[in-house]
Amino acid sequence: MQTTPLNPEDPLELGDFELLGRIGHGGMGQVFLGESLGGEPAAVKVIKPSVVDSESRLRFAQEIEVLKTIWGPRIAAFLGADADAEQPWLATEYIDGPDLARHVKTHGPLPPVLTAALGAILAEALSAVHTQGLLHRDLKPANILLGPNGPKIIDFGLAAFTESSVSLTAPHQVVGTPICMAPEQAAGVKPLTAAVDVYALGALLLFAATGHYPHEAATPYMVFHLVTDPGTAPDLSGVPAELVPLLSGMLAHDAETRPSLTDVVQQCRSLIEAQGMKIAQARRRLTTHTADQQHGQTSAVCVVSLRRAWAIFMPCASI
């Protein structure tokens, strides 16, 4: 994962975490690369001072409570937080790798068997999240990090307790990312069910296999219209034939007709085994595939940098 130097106005530490650089940013905040007193790397999320108010603190506190509740090998681990600090912050496990969106844009779609392996891994992880009484509600390629030990899910900022009567959104307010959003979520239906994460995972796997989403348009409003229109089928162009039944089921307009996450895991296993592989082999191959491509890209950058440095110091050298 690429980092950039801290800006002059950035804090140097938050809680017990020293801040080393910037990882990324969004509308609400900045994410820093941090390090604990014991040297544990962390991704430290901070709310921008310009948006700190009682509601943003409440949302941030809810995200912290969610992360304290969930656990699992495919979930970025909670390391610490302070929602009441002058600059509210949240630290989670640092995953050294690109997100799925960047990986696909840089290296192209995943092969079908690796897409199935990714589906099995994430469906099993989401099933565990649901068992703990939560929905993610904002699953998308940018929220899947491809680390050296395999993919992990991040950003539970929009997660909701499925049985909770407490909500920070108005009755018909829609939250989430339109390109991966289930029709009922886009329509503002409440309460939502596990089927919204099944749809989002289907949209994510479609992107992993093809580089495009079920519905794409010039504006978010137009995407909302396409997603909520039962007469507009998701765009499955370019999907390998063996993945079509799985993705068409996951992207069904009617939530009740979508497969369960357990069914998704089983279908992904069947696809992998049809290629003469074990699920564990496919998982390892996925991790190796993404790590090798990332390493190749890093090596290429290093070679270019070395060539440029050599040219600066030895302008007459032939390289």
CA distances from 157 to 28, 181, 263, 298 (A): 11, 15, 27, 31
Q: Which of 99, 138, 155, 197 is catalytic?
A: 138
In whole angstroms, give the CA distance from residue 14 to residue 237: 47
Spell out the long-range contacts of 230-233 with Cβ–Cβ below 8 A and sequence spacing 24 or more: 230/183
User: Catalytic site residue 229?
Assistant: no
Spell out the long-range contacts of 289-294 with Cβ–Cβ below 8 A and sequence spacing 24 or more: 289/110, 289/111, 289/114, 290/97, 290/103, 290/146, 290/151, 291/97, 291/146, 291/148, 293/103, 293/106, 293/107, 294/97, 294/98, 294/103, 294/146
**Residues linked to residue 75 through DSSP beta bridges, in sequence order:** 153
In whole angstroms, give the CA distance from residue 89 to residue 3: 18
Backbone angles phi, psi at 47, to 5 degrees: -75, 135
In whole angstroms, give the CA distance from residue 145 to residue 238: 24
Query: Among all residues, which ones are annotated catalytic?
Result: 138
